[in-house]
Each structure stands twice: as structure tokens, then as C-alpha cells.
Structure 1
Amino acid sequence: MRILIADDCKSRYKGLLKKLEALGVQRSSVELVASADEAHTKLENEYFDLLVLDILLPLYETDDDVSHEHSLAILHRINNDEEIRRPGKVIGITADLDAAGAAKDTFSDCTWSIIDYSQIDDEWQQRIINCVKYIAQEKLSRPSEVQSASQTDVVIICALETPEFDALMELPWNWAAARPIHDHMFVRDGWFFSNGLKITVSAAFATRKGMVEAALKSYIAISYFKPKLIAMTGICAGVQGTVKIGDVVFADPAWDFQNGKLLREGDVTKFLISPHHIPATYSVRTLMEMLRSDKVFLGNLPLEYGDECKYSTNIKLGPLASGSAVLADGKTIKEIEERQQRDVVGVDMEVYGLYAAAHVSSPATRFFALKGVCDHADPDKDDDAQRYAAFASARVLQRLFEQYGAFCLGVANG
């Protein structure tokens, strides 16, 4: 395996090089360059299985100034210049993602993953090691056979990295460094105990918003892990007067509220809804009905979040509609309530995609979603409300699994 590392701080890779050698990657197979100019030259003349590219690079090794423009130029050539020998995979790395500025979006679109370098711990090294293991296995196997997986009990999908996935990662579930299971999916593995039963979990977040991305990620995860259960946590809009900001919604059932037919009758355009409702796993719903009466647990959530928390949490079970757009007009959610489902409690962009993937899985996979209410589908969007909603949904999930894990998975005795 050939690896090219383009970074003006070569010394940070001493530990990684030792780990790569222990993995069987010879030191002579790893090239380190300190400038964009050297990286261009290497890529013009050699093929590399992996390129680790610093987002901020000097143009020449002797330059003091670094810029994301130099790294972006490398990515542009990789994707557009026939003189470049396109590497197998590209990973972005940076010690300061905020300093990368506008380059963050391009790197997210054009690289396999972006890794945050840290002087405090070596998780960033382990993420690269995991990527190298994946590439090595990929070279030995047909794509459909890459990394034959051992079964994971639970898969959790989040729609957004921040604040949803971040809130999930705060759970004390022994999370490992991210690793690829597919060219388009990274996961973090963890585990926890539920009444003496060890439960394994793998979690991921979607690259983009929406039902299609959620369905694709869910399908990949179900196919790879063969989990007993797949779930989603995160945020949603709630129906004003039915749920308040901070409440956690158990979505049952879910449907695509935009699925149907637009019909023109004279000067009037009508929308004829054609819903396909998918219910959550019933046995999990019954557990949530018990958990919603745990007033001590729910009452402590604002205290755990912070002394000045202005939100509170109740658990609401009910229909949740999924759509393809963020709602901020304050009207559409009311139209859903009036024309499609009078008992609707919330609206999001992903749950139906996960439900659809799990609904057709074989063997059957249990599934449900917990979404924290962060607004009422109106223009009043608040970052702290989103953070609390994500926090509350993750903590309700934690309570459910740690208290009723065996029942959730369908492995309880008696």
C-alpha cells in the first residue's frame, strides 16, 4: 500500500508511522511532503492508495504562509486534471477546522473524511489506521465482501453531526474512533451494559439532510451489521399546542407527507395525498409508554443539561410526518394536521427514510425514532433549543436501552 501525507508539520506523524509499520505498511511506502508544490509533483508521477491532505498548506516548503487555496487546488486537479494520478482515497486533516473557512464544504464534498488533529489524544491516528485497514481489505476482496462484519446489536443513525450526533457521542458508551464500513459511510462503535447484558452499538450521521440519505445510510448499516434494532435520534419540529420545545417525540407511525399527485382542475391545483404509513416496532412503543411516566428521570434532564436551562421534557408518542424541506412558514405543519393526520405531533426530514429501509429488511430489524422538539416549524429557530432537543432525545434513548435493553432487542427471558 502506498500512502502520501501532505502536511507542513511532518513531526506530528511519528506515532502514526510506527502504528502503520505495526500494521504491515512499510515506512518506504509512506511519502511525506510539506508543501502543495511537492504534493502536485508526487501525484503527477505516482499512484497512492491514500492521500492525507492538510487543509492548510504552504505553496512551497520554504513559505511561511499557509492557505486552504493550495489544498483546494490539489483537490481540483485530482478531480479534473488527467495529468494527475488520482489517489484511491483522500482524507482531509486539520488542527483548526474553523480556520479552514470556506474550504470546509469543498473538503466535505471531495474527500472521504475530514479528521481533526489533536495534540491531546491519538484518536485521529486511529481513524487513519481504520481507514488504512479498510483500504487493505478492499484491495483483497470484491466490494460486496469488504470487511465481513460481526453482528452489532444496535445501529443508531443521526441526520446531522451537530448537534445530533455530538449529543449521542456524549453518552458514556465506550465509543471508539470512527471507521469506514463502506466507501460512503463511517461509524463509531461502542457498548454499554443493560441490567448485566452487554449491548454493542454502532452509530453514524448522514452526509446530507433528507429521507433519501437516511434510507441509504440505514440500508448500508442494516446490510453490513445485521442489527437486531436500528434507531434514530435528533431534532424535529413539533405541532404547537400539542408538544412544547424540549419534548421528545416517539415517531409512530411515520410517512412522507409530500407523497401524492398534483392535479390541475381548471385554475385550481390540487394535491392528492397518497400516504404510506409505517409504524414503529410495537414492543418498543410499549416500553416508551412506561418510560414517559418516569417523572423523576424526565425532571432531572434540564438539571443535567445546565443550571440555566429554560426547557423541560415530556415524552410524546404519535404520528410524525417526514418531508424534503425545512419548514419555517408556520403554516405547512398546520395543513398536515388539518388535511392528513389530526393527531400528528411533529415533522422532520429523515424518519420515514429509516423506517422504509428497516421495514423491508431481511431478517426483520426492529426500528423506532426519538426526536427532540426544537421549534414549531416557524421562523423562530434557536441554536440552544436545537442543542437541548438533541441532548434530550439522546438521553431518553440512553434511559430506554439501559433500563429495558433486553426487551428492546427481543432477547429477554420470560
Structure 2
Amino acid sequence: MTEIPLRVLVVDDNEAKRNRIRGALADAVGEPQLDLKSASSVAAAGAMLESHDFDLLILDLNLPMRDGESPVKDGGMRLLRTIVRGGPRLRRPKHIVGLTEFADLFKESESEMESESWQLLHYAFDSSAWQDVLGRKAVYITGTLAGMRSDDDYQTDLAIITALKEIELDAILSLPCEWKSLRRSQDDTYYYEGRIETEGGPLKVVCCAAIEMGMAATACLATKVIYNFSPRYLAMAGITAGMAGNFGDVIFADQSWDYGAGKVINSSNAESVFKPGPNYIAVDAELKEKAQHFKQTRSAILHEIESRWQGNTPSSRLNLSIGPVASGAAVVESQEMIDAIRTHNRKLIGVEMEVYGSFLACRTARAPRPKCFAAKSICDFAAPPKTDEYQKYAAFTSAQFVLEFAKHYLR
């Protein structure tokens, strides 16, 4: 059986100290068993924690806030408090160890570290005591990893979720996937299990719809799907408002955020003013690369999707757009609102109600986490008059794109 590497993040602005920490860990578990990354500031560590899972975080308490700045005595504790607050972009390390060579800083931080069940060690250049403790910690964690993380832990290749049972889920169930109804004990959701045939072999697929529209319902559904089926990929399909393009065009979200997140304050004239504070979640870089490759090399497939549709078709050719999609709590039919949302990101290409919820559920799910993407199609342009004329066509092109994307890129 292949050994599972110990994933470690070392945060310290002293390169020599980082090297000593690495040496202590390598001596304990072996260099090949070590997957170690390093950062020299709070900001750099935060960026690492946004994009990687770690079994062990080791950090100096006296850290600069940004690379190139001078250390501040509570820099490390500020990072740890951010982790405790559970910001959606930060992935919590399983174990945390603090290091400091300053006796006063040790005394100031000891009780707070203990209250969170974190370990705090005295660092001294001429002492091996801290190295022995780190080594034993690494050996213990490595021992718990056996059999815990493996690609084999994924039970399903792809899960497809929608916000609407009618129109959106109907379009997914119309795909040639040999769908069969599937129920889970003490779970009211109706799931469907099928397969997508690819040149590399069949993909095991499940699909389902949320109980209602919106980010909250989508996040709940995505979390249940991840727990029940452990998919390698999770796709959000359906319909969306577009900022440009044509009815039915497919929008692939390269990032998403809740445009309603922020703070309402009183302005100088006592009027309430909304100050946006969005948390952006980006799609996995590899999936974005694959979507771009699809756009550049597989336009013929989009034309084939058009030819499969049996209803009223727009006169324009079907296109794929890749860009930012904002999520909110309400259906938008207001140019003023769209202009306000666009101030968050001038490259905005879509506005809808669910994508951020699916991204957040996957970002915060237990391991092994699925890679999440959203491919919704344009049914309106978030401005009056809004009609239902192209909803079924948009749901169809979205479902067909997910099918073709899975066939060519997810095996």
C-alpha cells in the first residue's frame, strides 16, 4: 500500500529556522513521507490555507503580516484567530503547533493556545527538546493517516445538482444516462443514479434537485450529496441571467461570491448605505483550464448540442463564456441592481441564486472534497421584460454541456 505523505505548512520568516523544522520532521518520518510547504508572513500563510489542506500547521508567533514587513508579536495569533472564526476561504489544519523563542510572548499566548487545544513550544537554537516534540507529533499524525486519504475514497465520479426539479432536473434526467431512482434511509431527497459512457470507461453519476431555490438550499443539498455519495466532481447545472450573449449560451463560472454579503451603515445624512464585503471562491484551476480548452477546440460540440434541441431555437449560434458569476437571495430584474453588483467585479458575466452555495459546500466539505464547477445557461438578462420563453432551452444546453464536458474531461 502506498504511504500517505504528511502535509505540513511551516510559517516563519526565518529561513534557517524553517530548515531546522523541516530537518526535525524529516528525521522523524523520512523525507519521502513529507509534503512540506512554507510561508514567511500571515498573508502568505492565508493564501496557502485557501488552496491547500494540511495535516499540521507549525508557526512562529512573532510574524510579519505581509512579506517584506517587520514581524509583529501577535502576528501568529492573529492568523490562528482567523482560522478559529472559520472564514469560508480558509481550510482548517488538523493539528496546530506554535513556536516562540520569547518567554514573554509564550506566557501571553499560552492560555489562548491551550483553550483551543493547540500546542505551544519554546524554541531555542541550542536545544533539541522542541525538535523531539515535533518529531513525535509528526510520527503520531502519520500513523493516523494510514487508509484515511486515497483516491479510492471517492465513490462516485460526478454529482449533478440543480435548484429546480422542473425544467432544470428534467433536463438532466433527459440525458442518456440510464437513470434509476435511488433513495437513502431517513432522507427525503429523491436521488437518481446513472452512468456516462466515455472512451476511458463509464462514469458513475448521481443527480438531484434542491428543495427550493437559493444558496442555503443548494449548500445543504451539496453537503448531503458529498456525504452520501463522495463524488470526485460536483456540477451545478441550470439557468441563469446573463450580462451579455444570447439565450442558451453556456456560462462556466470561474469564481463566485454572495453579492449580498457586507455591512449596512448609516451615512453622514443618516441614510442607510450598504458596504459590500464579498468572499470570492474560485473554481479549481485545472477545471478552468479544461473549460478554456473546450471553448477553444470543441465549438463543433456546441453546434451539435443546438441540433439536438427539438423546440424553439434562437437565431444565434450557441457559445460558451467563462467568467465571474455572482449569487444572491433574489431573482434580479433591475439594471440598477446589476450595475451595483458589477462594481464588485467589472468582468461579471452572470447573476443567479445558487452557485456560491455549491462552491462553499465543496470548499468546506470533509475530505476527500469534490472539485466543484457550475455551468448554467442564459435564460434572461436580468432586466425587464423577463419571460420564460427560453428557460427550457437554457436548461437543455446546460445539461448537454455538462454531459459533453464530463465525457471529454472528467475521466
Distance 1:342 1:329 in 2: 17
**1:363 corresponds to 2:368:** yes
Q: 1:284 aligns with which of 280, 287, 296?
A: 287
State the one-letter code of the partner of 2:195: W
**Cross-structure match for 1:49:** none
Give the Å deviation of 1:291.
Answer: 1.1
CA contact (8 A) 2:218 2:358 kept: yes
State the one-letter code of the partner of 1:386: Q
Q: 2:224 aligns with which of 220, 223, 228?
A: 220
Length-normalised TM-score, structure 2: 0.60
Q: Give unpaired runs (5+ residues) of structure 2.
A: 1-152
Distance 1:301 1:221 in 2: 28
Give the Å deviation of 1:267.
Answer: 3.0
Distance 1:150 1:267 in 2: 54
Structure 1 residues 404 and 377, CA gap change in structure 2 (3 angstroms) = same
Distance 1:172 1:325 in 2: 33
CA contact (8 A) 1:219 1:357 kept: yes
**1:318 corresponds to 2:323:** yes
**Cross-structure match for 1:197:** 201
**1:158 corresponds to 2:162:** yes
**1:400 corresponds to 2:383:** no
Identity %: 32
CA contact (8 A) 2:196 2:403 kept: no
Give the Å deviation of 1:364.
Answer: 2.3
State the one-letter code of the partner of 2:164: L
Following superposition of structure 1 onto structure 2, how do residues 162-177 of structure 1 map, counting pairs within 5 Å? 162-177=166-181
Distance 2:159 2:185 in 1: 13
Give the Å deviation of 1:336.
Answer: 1.0
Structure 1 residues 181 and 168, CA gap change in structure 2 (3 angstroms) = farther
**1:373 corresponds to 2:384:** no
CA contact (8 A) 1:321 1:347 kept: yes
RMSD over aligned CA atoms reads: 1.7
CA contact (8 A) 2:253 2:375 kept: yes
Distance 2:376 2:188 in 1: 25
4+ residue runs over 4 A deviation: none
Q: 2:339 aligns with which of 334, 341, 358?
A: 334
| SS of residue paired to 1:221 | helix
Structure 1 residues 251 and 161, CA gap change in structure 2 (3 angstroms) = same
State the one-letter code of the partner of 2:279: H
CA contact (8 A) 1:211 1:324 kept: yes
Distance 1:354 1:308 in 2: 31
Structure 1 residues 273 and 291, CA gap change in structure 2 (3 angstroms) = same
Distance 1:396 1:333 in 2: 26
Length-normalised TM-score, structure 1: 0.59
Distance 2:185 2:195 in 1: 18
Q: How many pairs align?
A: 255
Q: 2:390 aligns with which of 385, 402, 405?
A: 385
